[in-house]
Structure 1
Amino acid sequence: MKEPKVHVGILFEPQIEFILLNPYRINGMEISGKQVVTYNEGRILWNGRLYDELLFEPVNEATDAFELLDVTIGINFHWERKEDQRFLGSLKIIVENKKLTGINVINVEDYLTSVISSEMSATASLELLKAHAVISRSWLLAIDNSIDNSLRHDSAAPNNAANCQLSTVNCQLKWYERDAHTRFDVCADDHCQRYQGITRASTEIVKQAIAATRGQVLTSDGKICDARFSKCCGGAFEEFQYCWEDTPHPYLRKQRDFRIFNPKTCDLSFEATRPGGGLPDLTDEQEAETWIRTSPPAFCNTTNKRILSQVLNNYDQETTDFYRWKMEYTQEELSALILKRSGIDYGQIIDLVPIARGTSGRLWKLKIVGTKRTLTIGKELEIRRTLSTSHLYSSAFIVGKEDVSPEGIPGRFILTGAGWGHGVGLCQIGAAVMGEEGYKYDAILLHYYIGASIEKLYD
């Protein structure tokens, strides 16, 4: 098959300003320089005329670039900010939700070169970069309409912010899927894959990793794997169904993020021969508490700044505690936060009660008990969003209460937690450690995607 193109949603604003750094073609003419497009009663205003859609195509696809001004990155995260970003490929402008959407149309391999550089430092080891190239390509092509149906991931998942209302009014489950985008394939932020064009220069080692794995994807049972990944699993892999729809994937199942074999001798470790790779039953509340309160060995249990800098960009390094962490709230802070984030007035918060945990100890059901209202919420991202001004590092936490009044109202809540992100699939920090310890990219991939295969889709 031929290398596909991908449509990436970059910018969503009433007005978009950009600079065509080289000649671009549109409507049979060549233009360059600064341009301004504005939303105008359901259409696009550009150069005094109205359009339904605009497509600016490079004269030389390999080298021509454009720059988008004031792109928001880290949407809803603690490091959210704006920056100017530069891209290869075409720029498409459409109307969507009473705003304009700026879309970059680019070849998959060029897209991946940027994703690898945006998701982690270009100084990462070659094997880590190769592993990330394969999972990023897999994740993308699993939802790309141009891929043969026999290899596509069959996604029947609900759209973004899909609700799963249970039979009781006291329980509400919600999860957030990647297939919320209907006018483009993926967005450029952490909701999908972090993509910042050629804003950050790619090194030769990134290009080498992309070239060495060109066209390679992970597959399972004849389908491209839904290759999820997160920053730090916290020592244990989460399973897909506890974060998204109730459809387990055989390659995304529980395991400890621990040595599975010696990369030189290929000897299995004792831990790998035990069910779940020696992982305790973290769906059990007592086991989960013991796990979270301790710091068991794991690939991702590292404070090595040199290794962490391979995975974490400058703004990610603003987060220093991720394998194990603490978050404290006063009663006033927590009750106000939950009201603001959920829109539900619970009154004063009496308790946060764990109801159900996944295989990594991450909560996917949490009961919020208030003086005015009690409600069980989930899944994991909804819990993290409700309990933080942006996103709580993970939902693998236990709850401590202090300064409890005679009426049973805590004055302070202490959340002690593990990991950063949902914990499903590849653990970026763990994979970085594996790369440093001599594991090859295929061994890294098959550690995190259990029983999967690596196949080549195109040359």
Structure 2
Amino acid sequence: MQEPTIRVGIIYEEEISFQLNGIYTLQQNGKTYTDKQTIKYINGTIEFDGLRLKTEEFIFKPENYENCSFELFDVTIGIKFHWERKENQVFKGSLHVLIENEKLTAINVLKLEDYLASVISSEMKASSSMELLKAHAIISRSWLMAQVLKSEALQSSKQIYQSVTESSEELIKWYDREDHNNFDVCADDHCQRYQGITRQSNDAVLRAIEATKGMVLTSDGIICDARFSKCCGGVSETFENVWEPQSHKYLQAITDGKESSLKLDLKIESNAKSWILNPPDVFCNTSDKAILSQVLNDYDMETPDFFRWEVKYTQDELSELINRETGRDFGKITDLIPIERGLSGRIIRLKIIGEKASFIIGKELEIRKILSESHLYSSNFIVEKENNSNSFVLKGAGWGHGVGLCQIGAAVMGANGYSHQEILQHYFKGAELEKRY
């Protein structure tokens, strides 16, 4: 098998400005371009340099893949997260532009290994330990190839991907492949954080990529859908409790410590409460700034309370937020009741009780979106009500969905001398390493 070429969705706007660093050929007219350019969506067409086309994809190919690059201006990162911002980003490979839902989508087409070099630097700092970088290169490569294969299977089956089930009493929704029809993955945290060659800051990442080139995790000969999140909070979650109801034996709940077998059934409310309020001695329970600075970019360091956290709302604040985010009229919110928890303690189904209505929501990301202006750190929380002030206090654990590798925990393992093979075996039980190209 040869190294794959992949398509990454970067930006979605009515007008896209970019800088071509080197000579690029536009496939649609055979002309060459360099320097600053602007491409626009106007009345159902793409307009650029006198060309106006309705459906065709505009393709800018570099004269020299290794030496040319292009810069996209005002790319939004951290979409709908609390640290959302815009920045300019530089990319290798080709630039493709097409129409999606009355806007333009800019897509970066490049070699898989070059993509990985950016992902590792975008997801964490390039100063991380070499074993962590190797482990992350392998899971990022595995996840990406698994997504490409999944997309191909869905397209060939011609089935419509369903990520929502709804009734008059509940809404269960997960976020995965529902909006990526024209590219393999997006560039934001929804998939893997990818910011071009902007953050390739030293040779360590490139050495980790080269040392693991073509290596993936497999289970029963199939490439693993190897997920990861910032901090599991002490226990990882199973795949089916976060995404579609499909079990993967290598994505099970494990304690993020030297002993990985679970001691408590965190599906039980009292156990989940005890676990959250009494932080356990696990890998990701660290305040070591030297280790955290390896994994967290500057804007991630703005979130210091990732292992255990607390959010407080007045009743009026919570009621306004939930009514707005759900589009339902609950009236004043009187209670939030966990109906179902996963093996990590994350809430899978949450009942919202108001003076006018009650409703159940899930899965974990839907809960996080509805209970925050951006995204709640995780759905692993307990609810305490302060009767004297009519306030709701959410006390929680972890940052992210918690499935697969815990980046903070893996960073601690790497700093403590664990090999990348040991890190991978800890988080992906029974998975095997296999070189595919």
Shorter-chain TM range is over 0.9
Q: Deviations over 1:206-232 (max 9, x none)?
A: 000000000001111121111110000
Written as runs of structure 1 = structure 2, the 5 A alignment for 1:15-26 is: 15-26=15-26
**In structure 2, C-alpha distance between the alignment counterparts of 1:179 and 1:219, rounded to whole Å:** 25
Written as runs of structure 1 = structure 2, the 5 A alignment for 1:253-264 is: 253-259=252-258
**In structure 2, C-alpha distance between the alignment counterparts of 1:155 and 1:326, rounded to whole Å:** 45
In the alignment, which of 303, 312, 317 is matched to residue 287 of structure 2? 303
2:166 corresponds to which residue? 165
1:30 corresponds to which residue? 32
Q: What code does the residue aligned with 2:132 have?
A: L
Asked if 1:200 is matched to 2:199, the reply is yes
2:429 corresponds to which residue? 450
In the alignment, which of 409, 427, 440 is matched to residue 406 of structure 2? 427
Structure 1 unmatched ranges of 5 or more = 260-270, 405-409
1:371 corresponds to which residue? 355
Question: SS state of the match for residue 233, structure 2?
Answer: coil
**In structure 1, C-alpha distance between the alignment counterparts of 2:227 and 2:157, rounded to whole Å:** 14
Question: SS state of the match for residue 238, structure 1?
Answer: coil
Q: How far is 1:254 from its partner?
A: 1.4
Q: How far is 1:340 from its partner?
A: 1.5
Asked if 1:76 is matched to 2:103, the reply is no
1:263 corresponds to which residue? none
Q: How far is 1:147 from its partner?
A: 10
In the alignment, which of 17, 28, 42 is matched to residue 40 of structure 1? 42
Written as runs of structure 1 = structure 2, the 5 A alignment for 1:405-416 is: 411-416=390-395
**In structure 2, C-alpha distance between the alignment counterparts of 1:155 and 1:64, rounded to whole Å:** 38
Written as runs of structure 1 = structure 2, the 5 A alignment for 1:17-416 is: 17-26=17-26, 27-51=29-53, 52-145=56-149, 159=161, 162-166=163-167, 169-259=168-258, 271-272=259-260, 277-403=261-387, 411-416=390-395
Q: Deviations over 1:417-440 (max 9, x none)?
A: 000011100000000000000000
**In structure 1, C-alpha distance between the alignment counterparts of 2:311 and 2:374, rounded to whole Å:** 13
8 Å Cα contact 1:141-1:147 kept in structure 2: no
Aligned residues: 432
Query: Structure 1's 228 and 70: CA in aligned 2 closer, same or farther, altered over 3 A?
Result: same
Q: How far is 1:179 from its partner?
A: 5.0
Question: SS state of the match for residue 219, structure 1?
Answer: strand
8 Å Cα contact 2:151-2:184 kept in structure 1: no
8 Å Cα contact 1:158-1:177 kept in structure 2: no
**In structure 2, C-alpha distance between the alignment counterparts of 1:347 and 1:146, rounded to whole Å:** 42
Q: How far is 1:199 from its partner?
A: 1.2
Query: Structure 1's 189 and 301: CA in aligned 2 closer, same or farther, altered over 3 A?
Result: same
Q: How far is 1:165 from its partner?
A: 2.3
Aligned sequence identity (%): 56
8 Å Cα contact 1:403-1:412 kept in structure 2: yes
**In structure 2, C-alpha distance between the alignment counterparts of 1:186 and 1:131, rounded to whole Å:** 20
TM-score w.r.t. the length of structure 2 is 0.96
Q: How far is 1:185 from its partner?
A: 0.6
**In structure 1, C-alpha distance between the alignment counterparts of 2:361 and 2:45, rounded to whole Å:** 40
Question: SS state of the match for residue 322, structure 1?
Answer: coil
8 Å Cα contact 1:159-1:177 kept in structure 2: no
Question: SS state of the match for residue 340, structure 2?
Answer: strand
Question: SS state of the match for residue 172, structure 2?
Answer: strand
Q: Deviations over 1:368-402 (max 9, x none)?
A: 00001100110111111110001100111000001
Q: How far is 1:156 from its partner?
A: 11
**In structure 2, C-alpha distance between the alignment counterparts of 1:321 and 1:63, rounded to whole Å:** 41
1:8 corresponds to which residue? 8
**In structure 2, C-alpha distance between the alignment counterparts of 1:196 and 1:159, rounded to whole Å:** 28
8 Å Cα contact 1:135-1:218 kept in structure 2: yes
**In structure 2, C-alpha distance between the alignment counterparts of 1:128 and 1:147, rounded to whole Å:** 28
**In structure 1, C-alpha distance between the alignment counterparts of 2:146 and 2:407, rounded to whole Å:** 20
1:407 corresponds to which residue? none
Q: Deviations over 1:320-343 (max 9, x none)?
A: 101111000001110011011111
**In structure 1, C-alpha distance between the alignment counterparts of 2:247 and 2:150, rounded to whole Å:** 25
Question: SS state of the match for residue 312, structure 2?
Answer: strand
**In structure 2, C-alpha distance between the alignment counterparts of 1:201 and 1:243, rounded to whole Å:** 31
**In structure 2, C-alpha distance between the alignment counterparts of 1:164 and 1:456, rounded to whole Å:** 38
Q: What code does the residue aligned with 1:165 have?
A: E
**In structure 2, C-alpha distance between the alignment counterparts of 1:234 and 1:155, rounded to whole Å:** 38
Root-mean-square deviation (CA), in Å? 1.9
Q: How far is 1:159 from its partner?
A: 4.4
8 Å Cα contact 1:22-1:64 kept in structure 2: yes
**In structure 2, C-alpha distance between the alignment counterparts of 1:292 and 1:45, rounded to whole Å:** 54
**In structure 2, C-alpha distance between the alignment counterparts of 1:442 and 1:148, rounded to whole Å:** 29
Q: What code does the residue aligned with 1:78 have?
A: H
Q: What code does the residue aligned with 1:132 have?
A: H
Q: How far is 1:174 from its partner?
A: 0.9
Mean Cα displacement is larger for which, 119-128 or 192-201?
192-201
**In structure 2, C-alpha distance between the alignment counterparts of 1:224 and 1:230, rounded to whole Å:** 19
Question: SS state of the match for residue 142, structure 1?
Answer: helix
